[in-house]
Structure 1
């Protein structure tokens, strides 16, 4: 029989898989953040509309104006984030799920308990990792500057230091409310959906616990996560990327009043392209890395 993976082992596997997925898909995330931060005025004119248009247009504009490497802006804090957030949210999922159903439980875990476990681990993980998310968004949001205008941050470490120095330590947890909401929801959509879809697929004759099953479950998890998580993702990006909002509710109301409901799905295709591919890469990598930590005895 296969050995059980310890929490440090699953934490390492999860962090490694999440970092790999982050590195592969961060160009899409950078473009998504730029689109989400692109605002529309009350008169209906979109600031910078000619600059960022759609997924490919945004990527092409960033690469042309700032260089190809600009698409990987924020990759360092992004990797910091995945080490903490990715490792904790996935690593704690099985223990929390087991705690919710009790040690005497036998058989399949209900979808409700899967969703609840994922929401709890997503909220706990991002509460720890919020500073890394903030710095990542700040670096991604900074586009091409006029000649002679210095950048706010020279890099990830400088961003952490500058934010604490100028705005105080608590500023690293700016946007924590929408970030907890976003990551609790998206984590539930990703982990619970992946868990449920995989469980369902494995009951279909002919399907086994292989790469095809992981691929299908990962795609399902990514699509569902974007559908339910886009509104809070937009609010989170704007709260972290712009200091004009007084609160999460203020950001939500102003966005709704000025731009309408469609604003909450800005960058949807980018978000799905990113989260869909991110989940596929994450779960495929995670399943393979976990095999290195198990062996037959």
Structure 2
């Protein structure tokens, strides 16, 4: 639970985990079309001079959403929703549920007053890294399903669904393959989680000190937008590397993917899909934190 920085959680870990998982899943359902567009843009390679066939297929967030819907149907925008929900139940529940206990561990249980921003960042990075280490297989399957576009007639899809994807990856590539891209994923999710939770915590704390502001929906809205913006600005490069490694098995390592992306597509490639990424993460954070705050109030009312 992300509370104001002076207070300790008054809900059990189990209830915080459940509230966080529910809120993260709800936000995932609402925003996964933007996430699908973001992944397609990130995986799109740079056009080769003189080669008409290499011209980019997807252009911009809305253009990518429109192209996918037109060529593959509206349901294609929700590709990967099942493993996406698997991911949010594990990752969303753990990263948020563990935040307050880990923050208390770093500050000490007898700490009084505002928690330093540095401690919030370290706590959020820790919970993000731990959570994604457990949830990496769900992230891998989600990306694999999202990257598969419209196929020529007669060409079968690589996976028939999320469960088939899990079993096929284990059978064809080994159990360890489920943790493909774990390095950049830990970096990406640790960094983004630090940006999201620490900035939400800090922005909310700052807003509540302004006369006239209270712990209500408006405060949660501004804090959620701030969390999404900082997360995208800081995490976009590692997000691109993570998506490319999970969507293309030809990369040998995180460094290999980074170097090849920089060499072949230029430094701006690390911010490919920035607008859809912000549209997705910004809206995702607003929806998730608004839902989380209301869910916490509801859970408390049941006690």
**TM-score of the superposition, structure 2-length normalised?**
0.95
Looking at structure 2, the residues matched to 256 and 230 of structure 1 have their Cα atoms a distance apart, in angstroms, of: 14
From 174, 178, 181, the equivalent of 1:168 is 174
Looking at structure 2, the residues matched to 31 and 46 of structure 1 have their Cα atoms a distance apart, in angstroms, of: 22
From 256, 273, 276, the equivalent of 1:250 is 256
Corresponding residue for residue 261 of structure 1: 267
How far 1:293 moved relative to its partner? 1.7
How far 1:258 moved relative to its partner? 1.0
1:1-297 correspondence to structure 2 within 5 Å: 4-40=10-46, 43=49, 48-295=54-301
- Counting matched residue pairs gives 296
In 1, are the aligned partners of 2:34 and 2:65 still within 8 Å (CA)? yes
Q: 1:242/1:296 Cα in 2 relative to 1: closer, same or farther (>3 Å)?
A: closer
The superposition leaves residues 81-114 of structure 1 with CA deviations (integer Å, 9 ceiling, x where unpaired) of: 0000000000000000001100110011000000
Which ranges in structure 2 are unaligned for 5 or more consecutive residues?
Answer: 1-7
How much is the aligned-residue C-alpha RMSD, in angstroms?
Answer: 1.6
Looking at structure 1, the residues matched to 48 and 119 of structure 2 have their Cα atoms a distance apart, in angstroms, of: 43
How far 1:172 moved relative to its partner? 0.1
The superposition leaves residues 217-246 of structure 1 with CA deviations (integer Å, 9 ceiling, x where unpaired) of: 000000010000000000000000001110
Q: 1:13/1:296 Cα in 2 relative to 1: closer, same or farther (>3 Å)?
A: closer
Which ranges in structure 1 are unaligned for 5 or more consecutive residues?
Answer: none
Looking at structure 2, the residues matched to 200 and 46 of structure 1 have their Cα atoms a distance apart, in angstroms, of: 52
